[in-house]
Amino acid sequence: MRHLDEYRDPSAAKSLLRSIRRATTRAWTLMEICGGQTHSILKYGIDELLPPEITLVHGPGCPVCVTPVELIDKAVEIASRTGVIFCSFGDMLRVPGSHGDLLAVKASGGDVRLVYSPLDCLSLAERNPEKTVVFFAVGFETTAPANAMAVRQASRRGIDNFAVLVSHVTVPPAMSAILESPDNHVQGFLAAGHVCSVMGCAEYETLAERFRIPIVVAGFEPLDLLDGIHHCICMLEEGRIGVENRYARAVRPGGNERAKELMAEVFEVTDRKWRGIGTILRSGYRLRSEFARFDAEARFDLGALRAEESRSCLSGLILQGLKKPHECPEFGGRCTPTSPLGATMVSSEGACAAYYQYGRMKVAAG
């Protein structure tokens, strides 16, 4: 891997911007899928440097943002139980459910812990045999392999006081749902490079052919994004469809075969609900029957939980590229990072958090 400075070089960025301006003859709307890309775009001001004909909208590629409120409620309920150690990545602790979040459970005495790897939970389970250790397994194809590894190791090592609350979702079905919507105005995609590094490009080629659009696999540094935008605009202007991999230093066409085998061993495809969007067919993973004993939803009798979302939060529309964060009347007012109404303001990859952090509030004020 080369030094990051090479991908943040100002001279190269100016050259790419000139190429984008020369290539652009009319209005185009592109969607970057990943919240990490959104944050880079806002952090480096790429959106403000592009020709006015190009509109960037932000996609559903933030794992914390799309975890449905029902799963947050289930996590809160399980974490509140006696004899449970509930583990999660940090961002999930502050995501509001219907009646609170995991941090509130921790503050009231629940054993809620932040971990950096699901494999840490196995050691925790071995050290605490009298308790059940539950890991909140959220995320896209990028986190699923590690979570699959944790479940498989728990099975092989006989760690039966370990369970996972699964909320895995996959990117291509969400892109398909966006393109099928009658309200869609996305004309080209910047696909998330890290997802493609695991899954490869085959599913994106199918999407590009089906919807007759260009998809450019892009990275996360400023030059990665400008290069991706340039190639996507060129494809649109020339009327070309298909997939271009502009993140070849990390993405091979076939992806990571070992990771895909591991995921297929532990998980199977299922329908999944996305927060603010609804159920998307075959858009997620669940544990295979061979690993059902590690399913936290099956292990705990949760009863009927009534989930309620904030009626004034526009996260669902923002995640589909139909609204921008500053167009939400609550943005920067009732909804801030310290007092969020929705997950897009909580998550470090959320679009609302990016707009707030990098000063796009002035757009709303204007």
| Cβ contact 157:211 at 8 Å | no
- Rounded Cα distance between 357 and 366, Å, is 17
- DSSP state letter for 331: B
Our separate counts of H helices and E strands in the chain read 18, 11
- Rounded Cα distance between 26 and 47, Å, is 17
pLDDT for 365: 42
For 211, phi then psi, to 5°, come to -100, 0
Question: What DSSP letter does each residue of 267-285 carry, written as one string?
Answer: EEEEEEEETTTEEEEEEEE
pTM, two decimal places? 0.92
> What are the residues whose beta carbons fall under 8 Å from the beta carbon of 60, sequence distance 6 or more?
33, 66, 174, 178, 274, 277, 319, 320
Three-point CA angle 182, 183, 186, nearest 5° = 105
For 54, 147, 285, the CA distances from 31, given in Å and listed in that order, are: 11, 28, 24
Q: Is 218 exposed, middle or buried (0-12, 13-18, 19+ CB in 10 A)?
A: buried
Taking the chain (366 residues) in runs of 10, the rounded mean pLDDT of each run is 80 98 98 95 96 96 90 95 95 87 96 96 97 96 97 97 97 96 96 96 96 97 98 98 96 96 98 91 97 96 77 89 92 90 87 91 50
| 244: amino acid identity, one letter | E
For 134, phi then psi, to 5°, come to -115, 130
- Rounded Cα distance between 132 and 111, Å, is 11
Q: How many residues does the chain have?
A: 366
Which residue in the block uniquely carries the two structure tokens 């592109």?
30
